[in-house]
């Protein structure tokens, strides 16, 4: 993500752009090429996790708010659900954690569930909107 006025967000704030997770490794000791590879591979891993009630992956649905890649190669994720009462609320973070843990070079994964800001369909990518019939 480039820091343009349209998408620049203060630290710890979730972007409201569709399909945009804040993926960062602020002031990392890791080489930029490694950060880029990890970010690409982590997104690919997250995209293997689908909401069982919606025919789209959790990344395209906009459920991933933030991914931090730490210097020790630990990954911290903030994610949400389409609704707090989602029947897989206890399982989906584990699915995301398990998927990211398969990425070469990732040492540990922590997934935190957040509900602020609440998820809306505005966070969905065009691909997810087409898959769900909203486009």
Amino acid 29: pLDDT: 87
- What CATH class does 22-132 carry? alpha beta
Amino acid 6: pLDDT: 35
Amino acid 134: pLDDT: 77
CA 15 remoteness from chain centre: 11
Q: Which residues 6+ apart lie within 8 Å of 22 measured at CB?
A: 1, 9, 14, 15, 65, 66, 67
Helix (H) or strand (E) holding 37: helix 32-46
Give the single-character DSSP code of 122: G
Mean pLDDT of the chain: 83
pLDDT: which is higher, 69 or 19: 69
pTM of the model: 0.80
Residue 11 has pLDDT above 50, yes or no: no
- Per-residue pLDDT tens digits for 24-72: 666 678 899 999 999 999 999 999 999 888 889 999 999 999 999 999 9
Residue whose C-alpha is closest to residue 79's, from 94, 87, 70, 71:
94
Write down the residue that tokens 């880029």 correspond to: 36
Residue whose C-alpha is closest to residue 66's, from 121, 127, 117, 28:
117
């Amino acid at each position: 993500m480039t820091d343009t006025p349209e998408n620049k967000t203060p630290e710890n704030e979730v972007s409201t752009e569709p399909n945009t997770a804040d993926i960062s490794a602020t002031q990392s000791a890791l080489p930029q090429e490694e950060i880029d590879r990890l970010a690409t591979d982590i997104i690919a891993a997250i995209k293997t996790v689908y909401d069982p009630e919606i025919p789209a992956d959790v990344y395209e649905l906009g459920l991933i708010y933030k991914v931090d890649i730490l210097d020790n190669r630990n990954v911290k994720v903030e994610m949400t659900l389409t609704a707090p009462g989602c029947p897989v609320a206890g399982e989906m973070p584990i699915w995301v954690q398990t998927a990211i843990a398969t990425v070469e070079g990732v040492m540990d994964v922590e997934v935190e569930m957040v509900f602020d800001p609440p998820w809306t369909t505005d966070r969905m990518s065009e691909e997810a909107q087409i898959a769900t019939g909203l486009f």
